[in-house]
Every structure is written in C-alpha cells, then in structure tokens.
C-alpha cells in the first residue's frame, strides 16, 4: 500500500476545505497539521495525524507522494529532504535559498504570496480565478473534483423537520489577519432577527473545537464571514449566509448550502490586510437581513 503525506497546517478553515482529498486517495495517509487542527481531522484506520513536533516519525518512511501545501520555509526544507517518489506543491530550492512550487501546483501558487510572477500579477490572477479551491487541489494530484464533501471528526446529526421557529447562529469574529472580515452591523442584525421572533446564538470561544461545532449544530441558519465557522456550517449541512468583504467568493465551493453576500467594493478591498471602514460597510444591513428573510420564506 502506498504511503502519502499531506502537509496542511493552517488556517483551520483551510484545513477543513482540504479534507475532501481524503475521499479521493487511498493508502497509508499521514497528515501533518497544527495541534489545534488535530481535533478536526477524521479518525480513520488509514490516517495518522501528526503535529510539527512529531516530524521525526516521518524521516524513515518512503513516501510515494508528498502533498506540500504550506508556504513556510523551515517546514518546507524538512519536507523537501524527506524520502519520496514525488512531491507536489511547495518545496525548498536549496540552490536559490527560496521557496518554489511544482508545475502540478502552479494553478494555485501562481496566485499566492510565493508566486513566480510577483504580488501584483498574483493578485490579478486571484481576482480572475473562478475555480474553487477543491477543484484546483484535486487537479494538482491528477484527480477530478466531483463535489466530494468535507470529512471531519464529528458525526452529522440527521436533519429533522420540526414545527418550530428556526434557530440562527451568528459568528461576529474573524482572525486578526483579515480585519475587514469583521462586519460592523452584526449587533443590529441580531436585534432585527430577534424582533422577527427567532432565537439567535452568538458564537463564542470554546475550550475545544468540538464544543464549537456543537454550538453551530444547534442552529438551522448560520451567518458569518469567510471564516472557519462558514466551513463548519457547510459540513453540518446548515443554510449559511456568508459575507465576503475582502476575499474571493469564487474559491469557496458551497455545496448548494451558501448564500454569498459579496461586497460591492470587493475589487478595491480584495485581499487587503488593513481596515477601511468605508469598504467594510459596502455590505449593508439590509443586504444580509433580506437574504435571511428569503431563506426563511423559501423553507417555510
């Protein structure tokens, strides 16, 4: 049986959206990821999950494939020195002392911070891209993406139709890397939804990610930005209203579950890591509330 190593460490949402690859490959699979992400990955007989402080366990294995999906120099140096028949993705070029990437992965990394074309061209390619992350990821390893679902360490509850008001979960937070993902109207949205008679759960920090997933699982509808919560809502088969303030809505394969609210100023805000209040307010309160009312109406 072949030995396959996947290296995808961060961010948590990116780890989640990489998991469909597990449905398309066979063999003894090793996944190198962050300590936080270990909790998310599925428990499979053929999957061994490792963290960066356990990399010594990989040094004596002969891999058929290393799928290297991180742009970290020290980590990539380690991966490049492993024993393998083929590496796809990011590798360390010891001659130029820099990160590079294989031809199979250029469709993704040409749009990245390590793009051979430089940031300006990379950002343009990112803007023009209309393929989902999963479609590009599968193409890297010579596979075709056919809508394979996420695969996580949480059993999905069967959806039960009940004669009750829908429960709405709202994730108001976003990571520090993307301050423009923090939408300023969540409190007002919460008040308007509650005024319509619906229960609203405001998601908060939990001791474990499983507890966080359970909180989302209590809801019928999830409203959030392009964050980990969105990916978890997709996995849980929730109706998701996702706000795209500064990142690509086209990269997200929505499995028919996501209503994407796209910032009218997206091109100006695209992948900016600063904060511009005018741009953030491009998504109005009415845009999101109307999307919510439409979901409720369509499912009533």
**Mean pLDDT, the chain, integer:** 96
Beta strands in 162-265 (DSSP E): 167-170, 199-202, 221-225, 239-244, 258-262
Alpha carbons 52 and 56: distance in angstroms, whole number: 9
Q: What is the pLDDT of residue 128?
A: 98
pLDDT at 77 over 60: yes
In this prediction, residue 95 carries a pLDDT of 96
Can you tell me the mean pLDDT for 236-251? 98
162 pLDDT above the threshold of 70: no
Q: Which domains does the chain have, with CATH numbers?
A: 3-140 (3.40.50), 167-299 (3.40.50.2000)
Mean pLDDT of 188-201: 98
Structure tokens at 196: 């319509």
Residue 174 pLDDT exceeds 60: yes
**Band of the pLDDT at 165, cuts 50, 70, 90?**
confident
Q: Is the dihedral of CA 34, 36, 42, 44 positive or negative?
A: positive
Q: What is the pLDDT of residues 256-287, one digit of tens each?
A: 999 999 999 999 999 999 999 999 999 999 99
> pLDDT exceeding 90 applies to what percent of the chain?
95
pLDDT tier at 161, thresholds 50, 70, 90: low
Confidence (pLDDT) at 158: 76
Side-chain half-sphere of 219: how many Cα atoms within 13 Å? 27
DSSP designation for 255:
T
In the block, residue with structure tokens 């992948």: 271
Q: What is the pLDDT at residue 159?
A: 66
| Average pLDDT value for residue range 49-55 | 96
Q: What is the mean pLDDT of residues 121-148?
A: 98
What is the distance between the alpha carbons of residues 68 and 176, in angstroms, rounded to a whole number? 25
Residue 183: the pLDDT is 97
pLDDT at 126: 98
Q: What is the pLDDT of residue 34?
A: 97
Total residue count of the chain as it appears in this document = 300
Q: Indicate if the pLDDT at residue 66 is higher than 90.
A: yes
pLDDT band (50, 70, 90) for residue 23: very high
State the average pLDDT over residues 44-71: 96
Task: Report how far Cα 282 is from the mean position of its chain's Cα atoms.
Answer: 23
């Amino acid at each position: 049986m072949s030995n396959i190593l996947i290296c995808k460490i961060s961010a948590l949402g990116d780890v989640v959206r990489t998991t469909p690859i597990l449905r398309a490959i066979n063999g003894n699979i090793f996944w190198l990821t962050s300590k936080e992400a270990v909790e998310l990955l599925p428990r499979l007989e053929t999957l061994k999950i490792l963290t960066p402080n356990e990399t010594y366990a990989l040094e004596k294995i002969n891999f058929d494939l290393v799928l290297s999906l991180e742009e970290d120099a020290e980590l990539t140096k380690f991966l490049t020195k492993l024993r393998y028949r083929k590496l796809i993705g990011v590798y360390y070029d010891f001659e130029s002392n820099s990160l590079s990437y294989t031809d199979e992965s250029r469709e993704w990394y040409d749009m990245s911070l390590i793009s051979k074309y430089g940031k300006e061209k990379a950002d343009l390619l990112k803007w023009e891209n209309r393929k989902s992350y999963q479609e590009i990821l599968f193409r890297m390893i010579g596979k075709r993406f056919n809508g394979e679902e996420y695969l996580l360490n949480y059993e999905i509850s069967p959806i039960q139709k009940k004669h009750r008001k829908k429960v709405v979960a709202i994730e108001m937070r976003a990571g520090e890397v993307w301050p423009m993902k923090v939408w300023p109207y969540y409190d007002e949205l919460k008040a308007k939804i509650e005024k319509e008679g619906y229960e609203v759960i405001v998601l908060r920090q939990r001791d474990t990610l499983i507890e966080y997933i359970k909180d989302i699982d209590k809801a019928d509808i999830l409203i959030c930005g392009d964050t980990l919560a969105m990916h978890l809502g997709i996995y849980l088969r929730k109706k998701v209203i996702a706000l795209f303030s500064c990142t690509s809505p086209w990269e997200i394969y929505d499995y028919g579950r996501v209503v994407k609210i796209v910032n009218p100023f997206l091109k100006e805000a695209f992948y900016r890591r600063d904060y511009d209040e005018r741009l953030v307010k491009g998504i109005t309160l009415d845009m999101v509330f109307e999307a919510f009312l439409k979901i409720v109406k369509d499912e009533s």
